[in-house]
């Protein structure tokens, strides 16, 4: 089936179940000395990024490809824990769930 026929049947901004790709028509917008495209949140979520995340842009077969930069697991955790401790918000959430005999334990 031709691409334009699929667009007519499904509309511009639908997922085509036969080819499993999302198609969205968008305009190129002027942003200072550069240009940009507004990308729907659902498409960003599909590749695992949110506004503000770093991505790689590349040209592939006449298309612009956006690839998320892999983050290191636990990146930023140390700083976040430090801020929590400095704010005094690091008390146990459920301290009442200890065992009755915990005070009597000898290590």
74-100 pLDDT, tens digit per residue, is 888 899 888 988 888 777 777 666 677
Q: Are 25 and 10 in contact (CB under 8 A)?
A: no
3-52 pLDDT, tens digit per residue, is 566 555 555 455 544 445 678 889 999 999 999 999 999 899 988 899 98
Q: Are 64 and 57 in contact (CB under 8 A)?
A: yes
């Amino acid at each position: 089936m031709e691409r334009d026929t699929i667009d007519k049947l499904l509309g511009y901004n639908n997922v085509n179940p036969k080819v499993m790709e999302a198609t969205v028509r968008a305009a190129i917008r002027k942003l200072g000395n550069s240009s940009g495209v507004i990308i729907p949140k659902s498409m960003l979520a599909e590749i695992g990024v949110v506004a503000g995340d770093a991505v790689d842009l590349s040209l592939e077969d006449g298309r612009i490809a956006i690839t998320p930069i892999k983050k290191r697991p636990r990146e930023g955790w140390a700083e976040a824990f430090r801020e929590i401790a400095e704010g005094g918000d690091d008390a146990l959430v459920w301290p009442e769930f200890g065992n009755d005999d915990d005070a009597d334990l000898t290590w």
